[in-house]
Amino acid sequence: MPSIRFRLNGAPTEIDADPDHSLLDILRGRLGLSGPHFGCGSGECGACRVMIGDHAVTACDAPLWSVADKDVTTLEGLGTAEHPHPLQRAFIAEQALQCGYCVAGVLISAAALLRRNKRPSEAEVRGALDRNLCRCGSHNRMVRAILHAADEMAAA
Amino acid sequence: MSMAAPQLPVSLAANPKLSSWIKVSADGRVTVSPGKVEIGQGIVTALAQIAADELDVKIGRVQMVRASTARSPNEGVTSGSLSIQQSGRALRHACAEIRQIFLAAASDRLGVDADVLDIKDGEIFGPGNVRTSYWELAEDISLDRDATASAVPKPIAMRALAGHSAQRLDIPDKVFAQPRFIHDITLPGMLHARVLRPEISQAKLIGLNEAATRALPGLVAIVRDGSFAGVVCETEAGAEAALMVLRKGATWSVGQPLPDESDLAGFLKSQPLESVIIDARTAGAPGNPARTLRRRYTRPYIAHASIAPSCAMAQWNGDRVHVWTHSQGVYLLRADLALVLKLPVEQITVEHLEGAGCYGHNPADDVALDAVLLAKAVGDRPVRVQWSRADEMTHAPFGAAMAIEIEADLDAESEIVGWRHSIWSNGHAARPGRGTQPTLLAATEIANPFPRQISGNPPQANGGGADRNSVPLYDFPAWKIESHRLLTMPVRTSALRTLGGQGNVFAIESLLDEIATERGEDPVAFRLRHLGDERARDVIRAAARRANWKPAAKTGTGYGVGFGRYKNTGAYCAVVAEIEGDEDIRVRKLTLAVDVGEVINPDGVINQIEGGAIQATSWVLKERVRFDRERITSTNWADYPILRFSEVPKVEVEVIQRPEIDPVGAGEAAHGPVTAAIANAVFDCLGVRVRDLPITRDRLIAAMDSSA
């Protein structure tokens, strides 16, 4: 098996696996992460989103080779309870979820948006999240939380 | 004359031992063990608030225990928006009594009257600086005693937590990627499994060539029991790959035909039926019907479509098995597992772990039996099974399709003098653990199968099923409500949020709107004129006021109103919908007013109402299980679209607080009223009545054609 190297949440990582193997399965299986979630397996729901470089992508249908020598950021890499990302703080402040299964992917889409657009409009936030599905109906809270986080980051 | 004995809340009467609900530890912790489970609705936090409030401890001291048949009070199923009503009241009473027990013990120890003692965050103190605490007394007090109903919970004004928006206890884990969902839990030595299910509806597995699968690395077992088959592997990717190979070796029988999806009413009305009169009212003085309006409304089969596919783990130890599940009812699932396995319930432990948002009887229970059957083949190693997206979208029970016909007799002034409401639908409940036969999917697939259970309807006393919300809340002089339940079930159905409530409220509120329009009467005024219940009138007036009812007409914009009281006994909810319409409908804003009695967690109630309103909008605009005559064809999110972020309306919620009235749940209050309000707004905007859900472009065109 070829060895594929990438940085996972900042840490150098090396995996021996079939290059066509699903990135999500590697992250959840061999690398033991639980941030990215399996939802559909075909890139339709967004629960598995991770950032590759500055772009949010669905990990379930991304092959392992696509991250070679790149930076991969999962929800685990966004922040911790001790050092939360402003988005994580805002999601708690706004109580921006019901079940929370989709939230890992939503936070990643939002983080990628804020990297390329520091002051998005509400419509831009909704557009950036349009490929993340939420079934509980927490959309508006999430949008509000993301706009608050953007305000906070811009003020900082 | 004798005083009525004080009554325990229903869950406490069924599980009276105080220690089964609450433990107080010397190290300063209170452990609360409800029988209801977290299904994404925030119930665990609301229950923690109630317990902390009644005991006078900070909420941070409270540890909530997940339900398990090994230790929890049996509270049946977490459904029907009843958890605050049942679990909340039980905890409030149990904690009030425990507080009293501790005060009595403190009084003995300190030598002062209990009446002069006070409690603050578990510290008990009184005059002369005497003090002790729950924690000091904990080891000397046994709560292994039955609740007596002698303690009276705190008066409303003394509640410090209930009535305030506490932050959800589970949210930090979920935003910081701490494993909390069943999907994220790993057990030592855990294997992964997948189940082989037919694409053709109810096809039987008649041949299985296992040779190619056997050769795969990492394969631990191929399991076959009649039409039930699956693979167990060392890794999850291995199980996925093995299932694909096994599927190629499978031969299936023909299946059972499915109905014509383009004529659901025709199908529903042509089947063998069991008919029940739900309610009848005869006018004191017969009115003078001048004419009769006859209208038919339909709603399609609706999928639960949770974002996560269902998942379970099982581990055998000799003839005992331990199951981890996101089921809504651990005891009920255990009862059905016992029937299938022919084991005494004592040999089965069922433990809850959180799943993704649950909106009713989804495949959580089915996958638990799958895990139990597959784990049996591998000795004592735990086995994790996860359904595929396609299986989740096709093999789950669906919310039942409905045809509803209403005949309204109108007098010369178009006042309603008679009302006949008839429902044709499959039953809306086939939950496990309620009957002598199991309702779990694999039970019908194994070599000695159990019969497939045709779904039924809960009795009216429990809110009814297909007939839920079919009895009008309005003061019509005469009515007859009839429910026809199908005795066949080509498409599997069971409980989905509101059961028949969404369809019935849609039908009633649509026809009322039509009659008001014919009379030239404002639909809000028309409703208020026919409602005596002040709580009902208040939510309608509040929603109307907040939405500035009725805004001036603008081309391309429409406004509609809808109202309902969930189950006719639960939460009141009124909605004003603002939509934009041309060839498509866009819902711009929903303004809701809701009355759930006492509000434990206001933000929790608002969150539930917002979520219900948005989910209902998705049902109304988009959702419909698709099938041909052979198979369910909506197998993924492309074929079963739901509302996206850019399509979600603004939602405003006004909560009318009534702390003196026992609380009821909020999770299902919005669906019916929102459905009706959107449909009525479509008429206001475009002048057409769409009576078949979902309101898609095709349906709009069809409605325009038929009204032309």
DSSP assignment of B242-259: HHHHHHHTEEE---PPPP
Tell me which residue of B581, B583, B605 sits closest to B678, measured CA to CA. B581
Give the pLDDT band (50/70/90) at residue B449: very high
Q: Which long-range contacts (CB under 8 A, 24 or more apart) does B315-318 make?
A: B315/B187, B315/B375, B315/B380, B315/B381, B315/B382, B315/B383, B316/B375, B316/B376, B316/B379, B316/B380, B317/B380
A63, A101: one domain: no
- CB spacing of B40 vs A136 below 8 angstroms: yes
The shortest CB-CB distance from B611 to any of A127, A133, A136 is to A136
Is B290 among the domain residues? Answer: no
Is B338 among the domain residues? Answer: yes
Query: Which residue, chain included where needed, has tokens 């006018």?
Result: B283
- CB spacing of A88 vs B175 below 8 angstroms: yes
Per-residue pLDDT, averaged over B481-497, amounts to 98
A58, A91: one domain: no
A64, A98: one domain: no
A103, A128: one domain: yes
Tell me which residue of B263, B42, B27, B68 sits closest to B165, measured CA to CA. B42
- CB spacing of A41 vs B389 below 8 angstroms: yes
Residues of chain B contacting A136 with CB distance shorter than 8 Å:
40, 357, 611, 615
Whole-angstrom Cα distance, residue B160 to residue B59? 11
Beta strand spans in B227-339 (E): 228-233, 250-252, 273-281, 291-299, 311-317, 320-325
Distance from the A47 Cα atom to the nearest Cα atom in chain B, whole angstroms = 8
Q: How wide is the angle at C-alpha B355 spanned by C-alphas B497 and A87, nearest 5°?
A: 100
Per-residue pLDDT, averaged over B525-543, amounts to 98
CB B321 within 8 A of CB B313: no
Q: Which of B645, B668, B671 to mutate to test the interface with A (most CBs of A within 10 A)?
A: B645
Comparing alpha-carbon positions, the chain B residue that sits nearest to A78 is B176
Per-residue pLDDT, averaged over B255-284, amounts to 96
- The two beta strands, B22-24 and A71-73, are unpaired
Distance from the B674 Cα atom to the nearest Cα atom in chain A, whole angstroms = 13
pLDDT above 90 (res B535): yes
Residues of chain B contacting A133 with CB distance shorter than 8 Å:
307, 637, 642, 644
- DSSP state for residue B198 in the 8-state scheme: -
- Residues counted in chain A: 156
A7, A55: one domain: yes
- CB spacing of B356 vs A45 below 8 angstroms: no
- CB spacing of A95 vs B645 below 8 angstroms: no
B512, B617: one domain: yes
Per-residue pLDDT, averaged over B408-430, amounts to 97
Question: pLDDT tens for residues A42-89?
Answer: 999 999 999 999 999 999 999 999 999 999 999 999 999 999 999 999
pLDDT above 80 (res A7): yes
The shortest CB-CB distance from B172 to any of A32, A81, A136 is to A81
pLDDT above 90 (res B706): no
pLDDT above 90 (res B207): yes
- CB spacing of B174 vs A97 below 8 angstroms: yes
- CB spacing of B614 vs A99 below 8 angstroms: no
Comparing alpha-carbon positions, the chain A residue that sits nearest to B305 is A135
Residue B254 identity = V
Distance from the A36 Cα atom to the nearest Cα atom in chain B, whole angstroms = 8
Domain count, chain A: 2
B146, B189: one domain: no
Domain residues for the domain of B156 are: 10-175
- CB spacing of B307 vs A139 below 8 angstroms: no
A97, A52: one domain: no
Tell me which of B175, B192, B223 is where a domain ends: B175
DSSP B430-463: --TTSSSS---GGGGTSSSPPPPPPPB---GGGT
pLDDT value for B41: 83
pLDDT value for A147: 98
Whole-angstrom Cα distance, residue B181 to residue B622? 28
- CB spacing of A92 vs B175 below 8 angstroms: yes
B323, B376: one domain: yes
Number of alpha carbons in the 13 Å side-chain half-sphere of residue B124: 28
pLDDT above 60 (res B365): yes
A58, A100: one domain: no
B383, B412: one domain: no
A31, A64: one domain: yes
Residues of chain B contacting A104 with CB distance shorter than 8 Å:
177
Whole-angstrom Cα distance, residue B226 to residue B87? 41
Give the pLDDT band (50/70/90) at residue B81: confident
Tell me which residue of B18, B157, B163 sits closest to B96, measured CA to CA. B18
Distance from the A139 Cα atom to the nearest Cα atom in chain B, whole angstroms = 6
| For helices A103-116 and A86-93, angle between their N-to-C axes, nearest 10 degrees | 130
| For helices A139-155 and B602-621, angle between their N-to-C axes, nearest 10 degrees | 120
- CB spacing of B184 vs A25 below 8 angstroms: no
B65, B186: one domain: no
- Under 8 Å CB pairs connecting chains A and B tally to 161
Instruction: Quote the percentage of chain B above a pLDDT of 70.
Output: 99
B572, B617: one domain: yes
Residues of chain A contacting B613 with CB distance shorter than 8 Å:
137
Tell me which residue of B7, B16, B20, B30 sits closest to B119, measured CA to CA. B30
A98, A65: one domain: no
B362, B509: one domain: no
pLDDT above 70 (res B87): yes
pLDDT value for B82: 87
B406, B386: one domain: no
Comparing alpha-carbon positions, the chain A residue that sits nearest to B640 is A44
The dihedral through the CA atoms of A43, A46, A47, A52 has a sign that is positive
Numbers of helices and strands, H then E, in chain B: 18, 24
CB B401 within 8 A of CB B299: yes
Tell me which of B134, B160, B175 is where a domain ends: B175
Tell me which of B160, B175, B190 is where a domain ends: B175
For chain B, say whether A35 makes contact (Cβ under 8 Å).
Answer: yes
Domain residues for the domain of A99 are: 86-155
- CB spacing of B645 vs A139 below 8 angstroms: yes
3-state helix, strand, coil in chain B (%, to 5): 35, 25, 45
The shortest CB-CB distance from B167 to any of A76, A95, A130 is to A95
Beta strand spans in B509-582 (E): 557-565, 572-581
Is B186 among the domain residues? Answer: yes
Tell me which of A53, A77, A101 is where a domain ends: A77
B391, B406: one domain: no
Q: Could you tell me the CATH number of the domain that includes residue A106? A: 1.10.150.120
CB B117 within 8 A of CB B127: no
Is B433 among the domain residues? Answer: no
For chain B, say whether A126 makes contact (Cβ under 8 Å).
Answer: yes
Whole-angstrom Cα distance, residue B609 to residue B507? 21
B88, B209: one domain: no
pLDDT above 90 (res B7): no
Tell me which residue of B142, B31, B22, B10 sits closest to B84, measured CA to CA. B10
- CB spacing of B637 vs A40 below 8 angstroms: yes
A42, A8: one domain: yes
Domain count, chain B: 3
Whole-angstrom Cα distance, residue B454 to residue B489? 6
CB B31 within 8 A of CB B11: no
The shortest CB-CB distance from B307 to any of A47, A92, A125 is to A47
Tell me which of A77, A94, A121 is where a domain ends: A77
Question: pLDDT tens for residues B584-609?
Answer: 999 999 999 999 999 999 999 999 99
Whole-angstrom Cα distance, residue B324 to residue B517? 54
Whole-angstrom Cα distance, residue B63 to residue B118? 23
Burial class (CB in 10 A: 0-12, 13-18, 19+), B639: middle
- The two beta strands, B383-386 and B311-317, are antiparallel
CB B327 within 8 A of CB B335: no
| For helices B671-686 and B501-519, angle between their N-to-C axes, nearest 10 degrees | 40
B674, B534: one domain: yes
Residues of chain A contacting B78 with CB distance shorter than 8 Å:
none
For chain A, say whether B237 makes contact (Cβ under 8 Å).
Answer: yes
Per-residue pLDDT, averaged over B97-119, amounts to 96
B165, B109: one domain: yes
- CB spacing of A76 vs B177 below 8 angstroms: yes
Residues of chain A contacting B234 with CB distance shorter than 8 Å:
none
Query: CA of B696: how far to CAs of B56, B369, B556, in Å?
Result: 53, 38, 16
Per-residue pLDDT, averaged over B331-339, amounts to 98
pLDDT value for B1: 38
Q: Could you tell me the CATH number of the domain that includes residue A9? A: 3.10.20.30
Mean pLDDT over the full length of chain A: 97
pLDDT value for B5: 56
Q: Which of B164, B167, B175, B235 to mutate to test the interface with A (most CBs of A within 10 A)?
A: B175
pLDDT value for B708: 64
For chain A, say whether B615 makes contact (Cβ under 8 Å).
Answer: yes
Mean pLDDT over the full length of chain B: 96
Residues of chain B contacting A137 with CB distance shorter than 8 Å:
610-615, 618, 648
Question: pLDDT tens for residues B648-704?
Answer: 999 999 999 999 999 999 999 999 999 999 999 999 999 999 999 999 999 999 988
pLDDT above 60 (res B4): no
pLDDT value for B2: 43
CB B470 within 8 A of CB B500: yes
b/e per residue B72-107 (b: at least 16 CB within 10 A) = bbbbbbbbbbbbbbbbbbbbbbbbbbbbebbbebbb
b/e per residue B671-697 (b: at least 16 CB within 10 A) = bbbbbbbbbbbbbbbbebbbbbbbbbe
Q: Could you tell me the CATH number of the domain that includes residue B634? A: 3.30.365.10
Kind plus residue range of the DSSP H or E element containing B423: strand B416-425
3-class secondary structure, B406: strand
The shortest CB-CB distance from A139 to any of B359, B388, B614 is to B614
pLDDT value for B372: 98
pLDDT value for B443: 98
pLDDT value for B707: 74
Per-residue pLDDT, averaged over A27-38, amounts to 97
Beta strand spans in B173-225 (E): 191-196, 205-208, 219-225
Give the pLDDT band (50/70/90) at residue B422: very high
Whole-angstrom Cα distance, residue B675 to residue A69? 50
- CB spacing of B40 vs A92 below 8 angstroms: no
Per-window interface: B 285-344 vs A, CB < 8 A = 305-309
For chain A, say whether B708 makes contact (Cβ under 8 Å).
Answer: no
The shortest CB-CB distance from B237 to any of A25, A92, A137 is to A25
Q: Can you read off the two tokens belonging to residue B489? A: 């079930």
Q: Which residues contact A75 (CB under 8 A, 6 or more apart)?
A: A35, A36, A103, A104, A107, A108, B175, B176, B177
Per-window interface: A 41-70 vs B, CB < 8 A = 41-42, 44-45, 47
Per-window interface: B 642-661 vs A, CB < 8 A = 642-646, 648, 650-651
CB B415 within 8 A of CB B408: no
Is B299 among the domain residues? Answer: no
Q: Which of A9, A22, A40, A94 to mutate to test the interface with B (most CBs of B within 10 A)?
A: A40
Tell me which of A77, A108, A143 is where a domain ends: A77
